[in-house]
Chains A and B, each alone.
Chain A
């Protein structure tokens, strides 16, 4: 069966520090991978999506970047965090962009 792992669950980082959030998927090949951000009490904003290794599409201009060094690994990064980067980050995968997505448990990032 397929599983998705996302870590860490919570993270408190100072302004200006780097960020690396990792997401890995097991039990499937060539998944579509997504990073979403969710502000408190709000919907999900699509940040990045990837349809293959090294193929990253950015949805909104921001202080973040994403990479897909392996087929089932998706990394969200920042060189210098801003206060506005605080939020709940969710990784997800799907077979296709318009089919069922499977989510990780999320990372709550607080930038202080």
Chain B
């Protein structure tokens, strides 16, 4: 089962533009994370936002969280061709006695030079 659902599924932009990806989730959370995956590689953690935070920044990344709407967004500003990758949100809902990290379907971002 998937806890998070991202949209859009795919996004194509030009270098220098901003890229916004959205994520919705179903159950209550302690935090929400965003990861990046280059083609054929493992995932790399980008940022974690706690449930009591509304916005968080890291370099060119800006993440927002709206727990009332069970949604989050990832904004990449001034995109570069090297930002081309898939981006996933993830949450760790408590189920069966443990927190288990569940990922959404991801957004494939293509940044064209």
Contact = CB atoms under 8 A, between A and B. Distances in A.
Contacts, number: 74
Interface string A87-112: 01010101011111111111010000
Contacts of B2: 43
A97 B42 contact: no
Interface string A65-79: 000000000000000
B21 to A, nearest CB: 13
A86 B90 CA distance: 24
- Interface residue range, chain A: 20 to 34
Interface string B79-96: 000000000101111101
B99 A96 contact: yes
Nearest to B6: A43
B78 interface: no
Contacts of B108: 41
Interface stretch (B27-35, B52-60, B68-76): B27-35
A46 B44 contact: no
A57 B96 CA distance: 9
Contacts of A44: 43, 88, 103
Closest 9 CB pairs of A and B: A98-B92, A97-B99, A103-B42, A43-B105, A98-B99, A44-B103, A103-B43, A97-B92, A100-B45
12 contacts: A34-B101, A49-B100, A59-B100, A92-B43, A97-B101, A98-B30, A98-B91, A99-B48, A101-B33, A101-B45, A103-B43, A108-B40
